Amino acid sequence: MEIRIENLQMRYGVKEVLSIEHLRFEQGKTYGLVGHNGAGKTTLFKSITNIIATYSGDIFIGDANVKEDNKVLLNVGIVLDGMSVYQDHTGWFNILYFSGLRGEHHEEEARRLAVELDLLEALEEKVSNYSYGMQKKLILLIALLHNPKILILDEPFRGLDLKTVAWFKEYLKALTKNGQTLLISSHVQNDLETLCDEVVVIDKGRILESIDLVEERKTAVRLLLTSDNHGVATILKEYNFPFQMNKEGLIKLDTANPLWMEVYHQLYSQEIMITEMSKAPVLADKLN
């Protein structure tokens, strides 16, 4: 399902927190949302899911306006950072309770996810005994359980161990292959770089730009580490070949440039070896 936002204005008192003329999240794509603290990411997520309804303007999920037809939200799963569940009850109680609210029951799927998340045994215990990461896993499990058509995740990886983050990223990649739409906010650029099709940059409640990572990935910009990076820089300058040397001394250039073959032969003839060549991260460059 797609999400469409038209003329959204949101204020807390006199403070304008969101001002978005038009924004569309297409079905089956993964979107990242980046912005400084207080930029409005969480407020946007809360508005889309009707947790906040004091905005002016319209938000559509599919054809339904969420303010007028909030049943459409049954298609949406949301995990907000700092969200909580019932502490004095077990993990299982929470799973059954929240599934019941939706009129659904997916015990087998819950068990399968709990095994993947290494949480199965803990589900018998009270949530108050859980670590922060375990609570986060439980909240994710509950959100994933009903297989929502739209999944909104606010800082989903914060507090999770590396193994769980890796599992979760693969899980999310598989979801979009099935046509689900994902919105993810994260302060970790690498997380968004590896997952997202598009990254929306938000600042003081306004959309600054939208970065199409799918297009950006098609370019042939590479980072090189060589046996003599300064020697390479000298050769590149002789050829007027555009390049940058980053803080770590790696050379960044576009190997699709027609001059690259000539430069490459020149390096070879001067016995300069390329010891490492990797795809340059797109997002870090765009955002910094």
Contacting residues toward ligand ATP, per CB under 6 A: 12, 17, 35, 37-43
**Measured from the CB of residue 6, what is the shortest distance to ligand ATP in angstroms?**
19
Residue pair 154/188 in contact by the 8 Å Cβ criterion: no
Nearer to ligand ATP by Cβ, of 83 and 245: the residue is 83
User: How far, CA to CA in Å, does 224 sit from each of 73, 128, 179, 249, 254?
Assistant: 47, 49, 36, 9, 10
**Measured from the CB of residue 126, what is the shortest distance to ligand ATP in angstroms?**
28
The number of CA neighbours under 13 Å toward the Cβ of 269 is 7
Nearer to ligand ATP by Cβ, of 42 and 94: the residue is 42
Strand pairing class (181-185; 150-154): parallel
Nearer to ligand ATP by Cβ, of 77 and 205: the residue is 205
The number of CA neighbours under 13 Å toward the Cβ of 256 is 6
**Measured from the CB of residue 37, what is the shortest distance to ligand ATP in angstroms?**
3
**Measured from the CB of residue 38, what is the shortest distance to ligand ATP in angstroms?**
4
**Measured from the CB of residue 177, what is the shortest distance to ligand ATP in angstroms?**
28
Helices 260-269 and 229-238, packing angle to 10 deg: 130
Residue pair 130/138 in contact by the 8 Å Cβ criterion: yes
Nearer to ligand ATP by Cβ, of 83 and 259: the residue is 83
Nearer to ligand ATP by Cβ, of 41 and 136: the residue is 41
User: How far, CA to CA in Å, does 118 sit from each of 15, 138, 189?
Assistant: 43, 10, 26
